[in-house]
Structure 1
Amino acid sequence: MNKIVITEFMDEGAVLSLKDGFEVTFDTGLVDDRRALLEAVADAHAIIVRNRTQVDAELLAAAPHLKVVGRLGVGLDNIDLEACEAQGVVVKPAHGGNGSSVAEYVLTGILILRRQAYFSSQAMLAGEWPRQALIGREGSGCTLGLVGFGAIARETARRALALGMNVVAFDPHLAADAPEWAGVARQDSLATLLEVSDAVSLHVPLTDETRHLIDDEALRRMKHDAILVNAARGGIVDERALAAALTDGRLAGALLDVFEQEPLPSGSVLDGVPNLILTPHIAGVTEESNARISQMTADNVREVLEWIEVSV
């Protein structure tokens, strides 16, 4: 019987569906215990991971029977794709499963940061009444800049347009005459997008090209009352530069769901930074999206293993 190892959280219903036909090891502690993980995959035919489990050359060497990696999500920077291809291991991300969750997260963060009033609880309980300081701004009529214009960014754009926002986007990998640009103002450069946007949301993978894409120079191009949201990948934003921009008042606010090091280390440069919201890589994870992605991944892994079994 083929063995599947699941190293990070997954919907219980999807896990149960795999137990009907496969030997399943479901242990979320494996992501933090490398030795136990390498032992667990020694006889595994499939592994299902999120973003923290490193599927690298060491793991692949420890898993000679591995045939498929199921990714509970779409980011692949924790998976060595070249090493997988060399070993004949199929990588199956869950495309389309969490687009609506990320889009809602991005827009919620922008609306909260533009209004600012939602941070007044402690002042209110202390007897203060800071109405003038917390008037804030509406989302309607503001310009949302999307860096990258793939499926999730397009989901975000659709919802933003329904809220009355103006949407601009920059994506050098999408042809200028592509139909996806309908209703959105295509920008010729990142610099132009940063200069015209009231809120900027990142929707690109982490690569050598995008690492610290939003650095000090990029932040200085943004409006002083603009907002930055990163729910894509940690490392795209230079966290030290962002901390300085927020502390100096050169940026109105930021929402980060992803970080250069996860979990955040003690003494992070983000500690104590004003007008900054931090969440633990949760933008794409809701009850609904978790169920969709989990079942999608379970089906992907099952399909590969059954196809290999039939073809042998």
Structure 2
Amino acid sequence: MHKIEELVPPHVHLSLYNPTDGLPDLKQADALLIRTVTHLNPETVPNLPDKLKFIGTGSSGTDHIDNEYFESHGITLADANGCNARAVAEYVMTALLLWKEDRQPAKPFGKVGVIGVGKAGSAVVNLLQNFGIECVQYDPPREKRDPDFTSASMKEVLNCEILTFHVPLNKKGEHPTFHWLNEQKLEGRHFKLIINAARGGVIDELALMKFYTKGFVADYVLDVWEAEPDFNTKVANHAFIATPHIAGYSEQSKINATKIICDELAAFFDLEPAIPKYKNVSRTIDFAHIKYDLSKVLNRLHPIKEYDAALRDLFERPDKKVLFRNLRNEWPYRFEYEYLRIRKELTDKFPELRKLGVHPI
């Protein structure tokens, strides 16, 4: 967890472990902090020590944790919901801009359907609206709990030309999301672009590829995979952009995640939270004085295409699962657009950059 040593409450004894080696001995632990790569359930933790009272995951989603199992044993669970909302929104908008520049530079985007309008989905909506893009917001569960929100109908959202997904992965309950986009919903429709930066399994990948090869889905962008990290190389090969679950990865989102969980930990055990020693600094990106188009500028500012190229290099590798994890864990985190500074000449030439939050110098 990024900068955990700086953000853990004072007087907490912190013991670090490598999740690829499995879980550490929890007999003396009061709390366990994890990320999405660690799956917690009755099989992985069959014997729960009495002392363990708190589990925190530095992620927005919790589908890697059997919540009922741990809560039934009196363990409090905490997550970092919303920590990476802005990073995910920037990933989606960057993918949209690169796709438009490549596929339809002289045409408008068309109507975008946002499926799941929680913190990440709302951040996506804000960016789309900042660009003047018409969007349809679909989130029936939110409509039930939020009197100020009205969800579009399923028919309205499926009539959009572009879909982007921002829902948790639920296989049960009133609103299951597993294979939400399936053959039935794809049948008889045409989509310009489908983006999944939520969870693998929200889209039926084989159905998506089938309708892509038939010409009913023109393009798709996938950051998450059904059998992750053992991603389907055939599905990835056809993608306009394919990345290794890094949409929410940024310096700022990772700090947010750790701080949220450490603050939850402090509150639970009635401890003083840590006073952060770091500062949110900006980064200046140097551009040579040569001709740039928007795609080239975006590719300098956001590593989405670098991740795409790196993932494609794994297609024939027998150890692709390990290398997939390495791509997620070992690459340096990018800076979100708000913390980037570039020449004013470029922000003047490409107003899209200022709409993304890039500052001129």
Assess same fold via TM > 0.5: yes
CA distance in 2, matches of 1:221, 1:93: 39
Give 1:163-312 correspondences, 5 Å limit. 163-175=131-143, 178-181=147-150, 186-189=151-154, 191-195=155-159, 197-208=160-171, 209-224=176-191, 226-265=192-231, 268-273=233-238, 275-306=239-270
CA displacement 1:89-134 (0-9 Å, x = unmatched): 1111113321111111111112222322xxxxxxxxxxxxxxxxx5
Q: How does 1:1-312 map to 2 (within 5 A)?
A: 10-12=1-3, 14-18=4-8, 20-27=10-17, 29-30=18-19, 32-34=20-22, 37=23, 39-58=24-43, 59=45, 61-116=47-102, 135-136=104-105, 138=107, 140=108, 142-175=110-143, 178-181=147-150, 186-189=151-154, 191-195=155-159, 197-208=160-171, 209-224=176-191, 226-265=192-231, 268-273=233-238, 275-306=239-270
Q: 1:144 offset after TM fit, Å?
A: 0.9
CA positional deviation for 1:141: 5.4
Match of 2:83, SS state, is coil
SS of equivalent residue, structure 1 residue 146: strand
2:33–2:57: 8 Å Cα contact kept in structure 1?
yes
Letter of the structure 2 residue corresponding to residue 288 of structure 1: Q
Report the Cα distance in structure 2 between the residues aligned to 1:271 and 1:143, rounded to whole angstroms.
25
Cα deviation code 1:140-180 (max 9, x no counterpart): 55211011222221111111011010010222223388324
Distance 1:222 1:26 in 2: 50
How many pairs align? 265
Q: Distance in 1 between matches of 2:260 and 2:253?
A: 10
Distance 1:276 1:146, change over 3 A: same
Question: TM-score with structure 2 length normalisation?
Answer: 0.68
Calculate the TM-score normalised by the size of structure 1: 0.77
Aligned counterparts of 1:175 and 1:143: Cα–Cα separation in 2: 21
Kept in 2, the 8 Å contact 1:149–1:169? The answer is yes
Change (3 A) 1:96 1:15: same
Contact 1:194 1:221 in 2 (8 A): no
CA separation in 2, counterparts of 1:106 and 1:135?
17
Measure the CA separation in 2 of the matches of 1:298 and 1:164: 38
CA contact (8 A) 1:141 1:164 kept: no
Tell me the distance in 1 between the aligned counterparts of 2:106 and 2:202: 27
Distance 1:115 1:221 in 2: 27
Going from structure 1 to structure 2, the CA distance change for 1:141 and 1:242 (only over 3 Å counts) comes to: closer
Structure 1 window deviating more from structure 2 (253-262 vs 240-249): it is 240-249
Kindly indicate whether the alpha-carbon contact (under 8 Å) linking 2:222 and 2:236 is maintained by their aligned counterparts in 1.
no
Local SS of the residue matching 1:66: coil
8 Å contact from structure 1 (residues 67, 305) kept in 2: no
Q: Given residue 111 of structure 1, which amino acid in structure 2 is its aligned partner?
A: L
The answer for unaligned runs of 5 or more in structure 1 is 1-9, 117-133, 308-312
Q: Structure 2: which amino acid aligns with 1:188?
A: S
Aligned to 1:4: none
Change in CA separation of 1:272 and 1:17 when aligned onto 2, cut-off 3 Å:
closer
Change (3 A) 1:234 1:271: closer
Counterpart CA distance in 1 for 2:220 and 2:6 is 39
Deviation at 1:60, TM superposition (A): 5.7
Q: Deviations over 1:4-29 (max 9, x none)?
A: xxxxxx112x32332731221222x3
